[in-house]
Amino acid sequence: MRNQPITSLLSGAVFLLFCCSSLLFAAGAPITIEADHMTSLEEDNNVLFTGNVDAAQADVRIRADEMTVYYSAAAEGEKQEVKRLKCIGNVEVTKGEWLGTGKTMNYLAKERKVILNGNAKAWQDTNLVTGNTIIYYLDESRSEVVGGRPSTTVTGEDGEPVKATRVKATLTPQ
């Protein structure tokens, strides 16, 4: 019984990250992306959105400072597909009452996984799980929350060593 809130919170984090992938694959609902600037780099098969990026489909929303959509090259008779989505800076993903944040977010289409990186956090109501990285494996219906590696020397923006982080869950009894 004691593990039920933890399981519920982690399932919530997984659900949040799964919703992130539905932004790319949900059928029917239109996808809206707004930004201060858009650059299409057809030669490199990507589109870069910068400045207050706000992408939404149905009740899923992704906000970031920058979003790059990488897609496959056009082949005759084949449809172009999204290969990867990368968001940088103040990343926030929401669906209903779910919220996930991080410094970066990557969606890898071939591996079908979503990665929130850099002080990654996921909330459900008042429950919170944090770590350096939150990874969700779409086809396996599992997630991992990873803390920093103590053997790795990490320096902050000021050049000073940063203490390795651990996974942390804060659960509020209902």
Tokens of 174: 């209902």
Please give the helix or strand (H or E) that residue 18 lies within, else none.
helix 4-25
Is pLDDT of 14 > 80?
no
What CATH number does the domain containing 27 carry?
2.60.450.10
Residue 103, helix vs strand vs coil = strand
Global pTM? 0.72
Domain that holds residue 52: 4-170
> How far is residue 18's CA from residue 134's CA, in Å, rounded to a whole number?
12
Q: How far, in Å, are 112, 143, 169 from residue 139 at the CA level? A: 7, 11, 25
How does pLDDT run across 48-95, given as a tens digit for each residue? 999 999 988 777 788 999 999 898 887 888 887 878 889 999 999 877
Total count of domains within the chain: 1
pLDDT of residue 141: 65
For 35-71, b/e burial (b = at least 16 CB within 10 A) is beeeeeeeeeebbbbbeebebbbeebbbbbbbbbbbb
Q: Any idea which of 12-26, 111-125, 135-149 has the lowest mean pLDDT?
A: 12-26
